Structure 1
Amino acid sequence: MRELLLELEQAVQQQKPVCYTCLVETRGSTPQKPGAAMLIFSDGSQVGTLGAVVWKPKSNAVHSAYSTRMPRKS
């Protein structure tokens, strides 16, 4: 988790588009439990894992993260 947070901080500082994902619920036997986190970058690369699970976003948040411009620092 520490590596993931450091990567997130670096991405924000560099104004690199990134989407933070966090597993909130599982059913049955899963390799990851709630709280597992992953960063997804616009080039498709990732840091962390949600495991070998099928995840269904409840919104188009990943697309929104990449199509929305990050605010510029003053």
Structure 2
Amino acid sequence: MSGIFWWIRQVIFTLAGCFFLAFGIILLISAYQLKDPFWFIMTFFASNLIILISAALLVGFIVQMVSKGKGLNRY
């Protein structure tokens, strides 16, 4: 894949990861405003799963960009 398209793709994926991380945090905050315990538990664990997955993907994308920027070319 061409160099510039790789960077554009990585930046888009990183922005999407940031969006879902922020969405998970907002969902976690809104879970504490729920009155029903069942909906609180379901929303709490769903938001934590969204945060966990998006943070892991975000770290992976950033590591790839940093290693490519330093010229390590592992990926």
TM range (shorter): under 0.3
More helix by share: 2
Structure in which a larger fraction of residues adopt strand = 1
TM-score under structure 2 length normalisation: 0.26
Larger radius of gyration: 2
Instruction: Choose between structure 1 and 2 for higher RCO, CA contacts under 8 A separated by at least 6 residues.
Output: 2
TM-score (norm 1): 0.26
